[in-house]
């Protein structure tokens, strides 16, 4: 008995030493004490702007569907911006592009506010303004992931690259809840338009801080966006390459489904809030799910083996399907808060798992390309889920809107199951 208990104790201590808090301390030591916090704060505008647009347009027009459509246009524009930033990773002059975005973002927000004030709920004027506002809304998750590569390469700490990517996934979840809470506070105290104004100011500050941070002077790690690959010599090699390509595609599909889950939950919340005349409180309700999601993401960020990460994706995706079914239950605000608090813990671990799988599905430096595409794919999913849920809810009632989160979660689960099946056939030594 003593011969087995000692190794078990050492194993538990080793696991604790590799936990999320340990990773945070190591990253702070490598990048500076404030840099991990900075990666959180720069994410706030990316959530605040769509929420501000959603609340402003829904209140002005009385149409949750139109508000969702405008917020989706912002999200799609931001996804395109993220892909452009990822493509710029092939250039040594990627940061001037970020500077241009920081300059044009407040101008685009100013134009959007003018359109909202002058045109009211006219879609022909709103949608182009929303799309442009999103296109100059930088996806700071992509920027921070690229910056970590340069920072860790400059300090010769390549061993922290994987923990830095887990840290970024956690910051995605934590940033969402902080941004939603701040948006809710501003919307209730100063009005929804104040959310957009504050988000524009935060974008300028975030871009300035990133450009002035000492890590910006480090040589950038160039990421080949589309490197050439030689043709496979044999049929078996070609078949294996196709399977590996599917392995890289499935995390992207999972990210689209996860984004659709997040977006459709928000769309259902908008329809529900509209039915009880509480549209201005949408951000607060959304923050409830974000809070429990962030807490679960922090707990799920401890390093695990590849097999456990795949299993976590499957288990938490299945849990998200069951939790999403509860959205059709509540009839009052208290019930909605409770259900959202139950949905959140299933979203955070899936977010960490999908990004972790994407990071493992491709070899460096191609893994950065895959995680960039995964991030933008999630934004596209958010836009699709938001529009479909809000539109169907406005047409046929809240119960119809609540069906979309279930369908979206089912896509995440199907992608997880397919990934496990395909990996088992692609892994070295697997049967053909």
pLDDT at 285 over 80: yes
What number of other Cβ atoms are within 10 A of residue 156's Cβ?
A: 8
- Residue-level pLDDT at 9: 35
Model confidence pLDDT, tens digit, residues 73-96:
999 999 998 888 777 665 555 677
Which burial class, exposed, middle or buried, applies to 32 when counting CB atoms under 10 A from its CB (0-12, 13-18, 19+)? middle
Query: What is d(CA 332, CA 72) in angstroms, rounded to the nearest whole number?
Result: 26
Q: What b/e string do you get for 54-67 counting C-beta neighbours within 10 Å, with b at 16 or more?
A: bbbbbbbbebbbbb
User: In which region does residue 117 sit, left (phi positive, over 0), alpha (psi from -120 to 50) or beta (all else)?
Assistant: alpha
Query: What is d(CA 245, CA 265) in angstroms, rounded to the nearest whole number?
Result: 31
What number of other Cβ atoms are within 10 A of residue 49's Cβ?
A: 32
- Tell me the whole-structure pTM to 2 decimals: 0.88
Structure tokens at 116: 């909202």
- Residue-level pLDDT at 37: 81
Which burial class, exposed, middle or buried, applies to 227 when counting CB atoms under 10 A from its CB (0-12, 13-18, 19+)? exposed
Model confidence pLDDT, tens digit, residues 184-240:
999 989 888 899 999 999 999 988 888 887 877 776 665 655 555 555 566 666 667
Query: What is d(CA 117, CA 67) in angstroms, rounded to the nearest whole number?
Result: 15
Largest CA distance in the chain: 78
Taken in order of first residue, the domains within the chain and their CATH numbers are: 16-216+238-426 (1.20.1250.20)
Half-sphere exposure of 19 (CA within 13 A, CB side): 10
Residue with tokens 């990996």: 423
Model confidence pLDDT, tens digit, residues 330-346:
888 889 999 999 999 99
């Amino acid at each position: 008995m003593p011969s087995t208990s000692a190794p078990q104790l050492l194993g538990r201590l080793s696991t604790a030493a590799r936990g999320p808090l340990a990773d945070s301390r190591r990253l702070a030591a490598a990048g500076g004490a404030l840099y991990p916090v900075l990666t959180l704060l720069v994410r706030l505008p990316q959530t605040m702007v769509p929420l501000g647009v959603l609340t402003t347009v829904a209140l002005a027009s009385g149409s949750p569907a139109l508000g969702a459509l405008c917020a989706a246009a912002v999200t799609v524009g931001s996804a395109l911006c993220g892909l452009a930033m990822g493509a710029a990773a092939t250039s040594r002059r990627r940061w001037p592009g970020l500077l241009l975005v920081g300059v044009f973002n407040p101008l685009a927000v100013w134009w959007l506010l003018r359109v909202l004030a002058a045109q009211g709920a006219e879609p022909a004027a709103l949608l182009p303004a929303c799309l442009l506002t999103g296109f100059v809304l930088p996806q700071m998750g992509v920027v921070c992931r690229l910056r970590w590569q340069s920072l860790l390469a400059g300090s010769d700490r390549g061993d922290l690259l994987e923990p830095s990517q887990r840290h970024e996934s956690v910051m995605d979840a934590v940033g969402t809840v902080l941004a939603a809470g701040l948006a809710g506070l501003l919307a209730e105290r100063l009005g929804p338009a104040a959310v957009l104004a504050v988000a524009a100011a935060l974008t300028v500050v975030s871009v300035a801080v990133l450009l002035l941070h000492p890590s910006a002077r480090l040589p950038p790690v160039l990421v080949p966006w589309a490197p050439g690959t030689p043709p496979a010599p044999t049929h078996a090699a070609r078949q294996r390459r196709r399977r590996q390509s599917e392995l890289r595609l499935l995390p992207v599909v999972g990210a689209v489904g996860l984004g659709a889950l997040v977006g459709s939950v928000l769309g259902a919340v908008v329809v529900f809030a509209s039915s009880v005349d509480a549209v201005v409180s949408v951000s607060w309700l959304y923050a409830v799910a974000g809070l429990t999601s962030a807490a679960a993401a922090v707990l799920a960020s401890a390093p695990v083996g590849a097999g456990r990460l795949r299993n976590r994706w499957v288990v938490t995706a299945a849990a998200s399907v069951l939790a999403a079914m509860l959205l059709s239950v509540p009839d009052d605000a208290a019930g909605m808060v409770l259900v959202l608090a139950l949905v959140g813990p299933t979203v955070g671990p899936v977010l960490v798992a999908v990004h972790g799988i994407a990071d493992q599905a491709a070899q460096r430096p191609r893994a950065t390309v895959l995680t960039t595409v995964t991030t933008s794919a999630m934004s596209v999913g958010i836009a699709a889920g938001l529009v479909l849920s809000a539109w169907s809810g406005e047409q046929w009632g809240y119960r119809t809107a609540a069906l979309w989160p279930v369908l979206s979660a089912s896509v995440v689960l199907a992608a997880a199951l397919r990934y496990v099946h395909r990996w088992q056939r692609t892994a070295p030594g697997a049967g053909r």
